């Protein structure tokens, strides 16, 4: 994967932030008087608007944090651009999650939390899924490998399918879970099945079958293992017993 680092002429000047190790750095100050709505927005928001004028729906600033609501099909492009641009360098993906509103016009939105360690910026990207549309979003896994489990959790809890995810399956609930997606608004708190049925299904699971071959990364490397180890794994190693 290309880091996208630009030639030296585009490299930005070194910035001395408050509280950094530089002897000339000013003392860090806790920001005060931040308005609930409005205030200075993250400079990356204007850059996104300039770069992708059609994709940006609106920009909100709430308690000093900037949210850019973008078109769902442009998310991967925008995230890759933010990650690669030397003037932004959003190299850390904090979270991928979703929000469901009790609002028929705006039922559900997928949220990406991005952080630029180099510039000390925080940016929230949101993609609203229109009513009636399939619950799908672009996976940012090609840019951030750490999005793998975050998107699996989002799929597990909200049922949002991420296009391009390498291995989209449940992560918190077990894979045979049949009751739906627990964080959706229409999901009853105690689940859909009776307690007895829930317990019966849970106890029917085989504790040894918990870990898939993919999860243990054995499947790919199986042929490279020494023959004795291969034989042991093929016969079903009695692990944990």
Partner 1 sequence: MGLTTRPAGGTGTVVSYEPQSSEGWVATKLDFLVNWGRANSLWPMPFGTACCAIEFMATAASKFDLARFGMERMSFSPRQADVLICAGRVPFKLAPIIRRIWQQMPQPKWCISMGACASSGGMFDNYAVVQGIDTIIPVDVYVPGCPPRPEGLLYGIRMLQEKVMRERMSNTARLRREMEPDPTSRLFIPPPAIDELSEPFGNSVNQTRSAL
Binding mask 174-203 for partner 1 (x = CB under 8 A): x----x--x----xxxxx---x--xx-xxx
Q: How far apart are CA 153 and CA 169, in angstroms?
A: 9
CB of 117 closer than 8 Å to CB of 89: yes
- What does DSSP say about strands 121-129 and 65-70: parallel, antiparallel, or unpaired? parallel
Strand partners, 96: 112
Cβ nearer to partner 1, comparing 17 with 174: 174
CB of 89 closer than 8 Å to CB of 81: no
- What does DSSP say about strands 92-100 and 108-116: parallel, antiparallel, or unpaired? antiparallel
Choose, by CB under 8 A, the member of 117, 205, 219, 231 that binds partner 1.
Answer: 205
Least distance CB 176 / partner 1 (angstroms): 11
Of 44, 49, 41, which is closest to residue 66 (Cα–Cα)? 41
Which 96-125 positions form the footprint of partner 1 (CB under 8 A)? none
Least distance CB 100 / partner 1 (angstroms): 16
Interface with partner 1 includes 236 (CB under 8 A)? Answer: yes
**DSSP character string of 100-126:** E-S-TTS-EEEEEEEEETTTTEEEEEE
Choose, by CB under 8 A, the member of 103, 186, 224, 241 that binds partner 1.
Answer: 241
Cβ nearer to partner 1, comparing 34 with 178: 178
Interface with partner 1 includes 206 (CB under 8 A)? Answer: yes
Q: How far apart are CA 109 and CA 157, in angstroms?
A: 13
Cβ nearer to partner 1, comparing 11 with 194: 194
- The token duo for 231 is 């034989």
Residues 30, 36, 38, 43: what is their CA dihedral angle, to the nearest 10 degrees?
Answer: 40
Least distance CB 88 / partner 1 (angstroms): 39
Interface with partner 1 includes 159 (CB under 8 A)? Answer: no
Least distance CB 174 / partner 1 (angstroms): 5
Q: Which residue, chain included where needed, has tokens 């850390």?
A: 92
Q: Which stretch binds partner 1 (CB under 8 A): 31-39, 110-118, 205-213, 223-231?
A: 205-213
Choose, by CB under 8 A, the member of 13, 132, 207, 226 that binds partner 1.
Answer: 207
Q: What is the largest CA-CA distance in the chain?
A: 67
Q: How far apart are CA 98 and CA 234, in angstroms?
A: 41
Least distance CB 21 / partner 1 (angstroms): 37
Interface with partner 1 includes 213 (CB under 8 A)? Answer: no
Binding positions for partner 1, rule: CB under 8 A: 173-174, 179, 182, 187-191, 195, 198-199, 201-208, 236, 238, 241
């Amino acid at each position: 994967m290309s880091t996208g680092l630009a030639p030296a002429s585009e490299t930005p000047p070194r910035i001395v932030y408050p509280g950094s190790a530089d002897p000339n750095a000013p003392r860090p100050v806790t920001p005060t008087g931040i308005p609930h709505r409005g205030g200075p927005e993250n400079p990356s928001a204007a850059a996104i608007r300039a770069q992708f004028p059609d994709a940006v729906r609106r920009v909100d600033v709430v308690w000093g944090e900037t949210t850019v609501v973008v078109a769902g099909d442009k998310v991967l492009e925008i995230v890759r651009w933010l990650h690669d641009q030397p003037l932004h360098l959003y190299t850390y993906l904090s979270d991928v999650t979703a929000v469901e509103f009790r609002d028929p016009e705006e039922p559900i939105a997928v949220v990406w939390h991005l952080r630029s360690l180099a510039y000390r910026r925080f940016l929230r990207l949101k993609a609203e899924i229109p009513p009636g549309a399939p619950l799908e979003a672009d996976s940012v896994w090609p840019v951030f490998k750490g999005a793998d489990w975050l998107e699996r959790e989002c799929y597990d809890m909200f049922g949002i399918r991420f296009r391009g995810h390498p291995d989209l399956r449940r992560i918190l609930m077990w894979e045979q879970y049949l009751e739906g997606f627990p964080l959706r608004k229409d999901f009853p708190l105690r689940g859909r099945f009776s307690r007895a049925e829930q317990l019966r299904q849970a106890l029917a699971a085989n504790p040894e079958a918990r870990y898939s071959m993919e999860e243990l990364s054995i499947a790919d490397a199986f042929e490279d293992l020494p023959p004795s180890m291969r034989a042991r794994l093929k016969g079903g190693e009695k692990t944990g017993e």
